[in-house]
Amino acid sequence: MSLAPQKGSTHIMAKKADLLERAMELNLEVTDKNTIAEIEAAINTAGVVDAEAVVVAEEKDAVTTESTAKAGKRSAKSLAEADASAEKEARKEAGDTTPQDEEAEARAAKGPRPIVRSKLERRGKKYQESAQLVDASRVYNLSDAVELATKTNSAKFDASLEVHVRLGVDPRQADQNIRTTVVLPHGTGKTVRVAVFAPESEHAAAKKAGADIIGDEEFLKLLDKGEINFDTLVATPQYMPKLGKYARQLGPRGLMPNPKSGTVSADVSKAVTDAKAGRVEYRVDKQAIVHLSIGKVSFGADKLVENAKAFFDSLQAQKPSTLKGAYVKSTSLSTTQGPGIKTENVVS
């Protein structure tokens, strides 16, 4: 937005300057903090009728109103408020932020400025102790970053190791909206409950693969009751139309089967096996960042590095061919409730 004052604002400021000059000639006690209406009233009270002031008043009447009414938009109060508002806008456009009344100046000068602690100082003691182990000015390689992340875990539970990658893509473009799945070699450390919605002929294979919930019409009755006791839903292509009426129920929870996530498949057995083995879905968010948990701290550094490499290989394969510029801008690792660790960009 341009910072140049608008035409109306410039005219008002010039008008006020003329009136102030006239008031100084008459030794009137007015300043630039007074409104135009107040300065004009002071000049009129002194019994002075200046030809130039009349011309300025006529110009003002041509823009706003021809006469002053007792009430409404033409009243003296409304005109004064309009002048004050116009002056405020003019100062805003000109970048003038100085206080305009004595009370504001008194408030601004009252006492010392409050001391604002840094974000790190407002954190808990355990977090601060962990943060001291991380050199904020250093960019660690993947192995060192994972090793350090496991040492900075201060949580009392088995925390997850999370990877955060800021991409140079535009998520609004269909070909740059990154979304896919990856099978982590050592899983995520979470117990995944898998439900299968498929014909009866596929039930035996799904059960053998380790599915927790299997059904067709009976499964739909559970959805009608709002019973969702699963983390992943696998469906065959021919059964997908039957899930249409449950899209509002499953979609917001990320449970709606999708071909991109591998949950819509004719090979139910393989889909269940992948889900149980550690297949996870990731996608870029509105800020062009990908967040993914790649395992638990208890896995150890070696297994976490292997999971991280599997994720980065998958992310590299998703690089849009139409992308101009850097694909990955920055990468960082952190444990749940732990400090961030800047990491070298494995993906180019």
- Hey, what's the torsion of the CAs at 12, 17, 19, 24, to 10 degrees? 160
Take residue 13 and report the two structure tokens written for it: 């400021």
In terms of C-beta density within 10 A (0-12 exposed, 13-18 middle, 19 or more buried), how is residue 118 classed? exposed
144-179 pLDDT, tens digit each: 999 999 988 888 889 999 999 999 999 999 899 998
Q: For the chain, which residues make up each domain, given as ranges?
A: 7-109, 124-188+279-348, 193-277
More confident site: 68 or 268:
268
For the ranges 113-117, 142-146, 213-217, 301-305, which has the lowest average pLDDT?
113-117
Asked if 209 and 172 touch (Cβ cutoff 8 Å), the reply is no
Looking at residue 75, the DSSP 8-state letter turns out to be B
Q: What percent of the chain has pLDDT over 90?
A: 41
- Mean pLDDT throughout 48-67? 52
- Specify the CATH number of the domain 193-277: 3.40.50.790
The pLDDT of residue 1 is: 41
For all residues of the chain together, what is the average pLDDT? 83
The pLDDT of residue 170 is: 92
For residue 165, the cross-strand partners are 290, 331
CA distance 205 to 284: 34
- Mean pLDDT throughout 133-143? 92
The pLDDT of residue 43 is: 78
CA distance 199 to 235: 9
pLDDT confidence bin for 49, thresholds 50/70/90: very low
- Mean pLDDT throughout 172-198? 90
Query: 265's torsion region: left (phi>0), alpha (psi -120 to 50) or beta?
Result: beta
- Mean pLDDT throughout 107-135? 78
- Mean pLDDT throughout 215-230? 89
Asked if 79 and 68 touch (Cβ cutoff 8 Å), the reply is yes
The pLDDT of residue 213 is: 92
pLDDT of 6 higher than 60: no
CA 239: distance to chain centroid? Answer: 37
For residue 293, the cross-strand partners are 162
Radius of gyration of the chain (CA): 34
For the ranges 22-26, 43-47, 301-305, 335-339, which has the lowest average pLDDT?
43-47
Query: 139's torsion region: left (phi>0), alpha (psi -120 to 50) or beta?
Result: beta
CA distance 260 to 238: 16
Backbone angles phi, psi at 81, to 5 degrees: -65, -40
pLDDT confidence bin for 105, thresholds 50/70/90: low
- Mean pLDDT throughout 97-126? 70
CA distance 318 to 21: 69
For the ranges 12-16, 106-110, 196-200, 324-328, which has the lowest average pLDDT?
106-110
pLDDT of 3 higher than 50: no
CA distance 126 to 152: 9
Query: 170's torsion region: left (phi>0), alpha (psi -120 to 50) or beta?
Result: beta
Placement of tokens 């490499």 in the chain: 309
Q: Is the domain defined by 124-188+279-348 classed in CATH 1.10.3720.10?
A: no
290-314 pLDDT, tens digit each: 999 999 999 999 999 999 999 999 9
Check if 124-188+279-348 and 193-277 are the same fold: no
Cα of first residue to Cα of last residue in the chain, in angstroms, is: 36
- pTM value is 0.60
